[in-house]
Amino acid sequence: MSTPFRFAVNVTPKPGILDPQGRAVEGSLGHLGIQGVSGVRVGRRVELTVDAGDEAAARAVVERLAGELLSNPLIEAFTIERTAEPAGAGAGR
């Protein structure tokens, strides 16, 4: 019997990779009157549900997906989070 497991994959540029988006965000902070913020890196978060027998099996699927599709290992790193099942999953609105 398979159970749905909800995950989030956070993909960010690896340290040392130029992140012009992060730099642009950082550069705009002065316009908001905010000081003292640095090291802004802009990435991407992908949330998904995997049906699997147990959490380890579900996580293995997410690992593969994150490494082969959601991130480019040359330039990006990823972390995987287990998240709570959304209320009314599948309704989507």
Partner 1 sequence: MTRIGVVVFPGSNCDRDTLRGIELAGGEPVALWHEQGSLDGAAAVILPGGFAYGDYLRAGVIARFSPVMRAVTAFANEGGLVLGICNGFQVAAEAGLLPGALLRNRGLRFLGRDVRIAVERADTPFTHLASPRRALRMPIAHGEGCYYADDATLDQLERDGQVLVRYVDSDGRRADELGDRALEDRANPNGSLRAIAGVLNARGNVAGLMPHPERAAESILGSDDGFGILRSLVESAKRAEGGRSSAAATGEATTGEASPSLVGAAS
Reported as type and span, the H/E element at residue 12 is strand 3-13
Q: Minimal distance in Å, beta carbon 3 to partner 1? A: 27
Nearer to partner 1, 9 or 50 (CB): 9
Please report whether residue 74 would count as binding partner 1 according to CB under 8 A.
Answer: yes
Please report whether residue 21 would count as binding partner 1 according to CB under 8 A.
Answer: yes
Nearer to partner 1, 18 or 84 (CB): 18
Stretch that binds partner 1, among 2-10, 53-61, 72-80, 84-92 (CB under 8 A): 72-80
The two structure tokens encoding residue 4: 């749905």
The maximal CA–CA distance of the chain, rounded, in angstroms, is 54
| Whole-angstrom distance, CA of residue 67 vs CA of residue 46 | 13
Q: Minimal distance in Å, beta carbon 60 to partner 1? A: 19
Please report whether residue 70 would count as binding partner 1 according to CB under 8 A.
Answer: yes
Residues pairing with 10 in the sheet: 45, 79
| Whole-angstrom distance, CA of residue 17 vs CA of residue 59 | 27
Please report whether residue 75 would count as binding partner 1 according to CB under 8 A.
Answer: yes
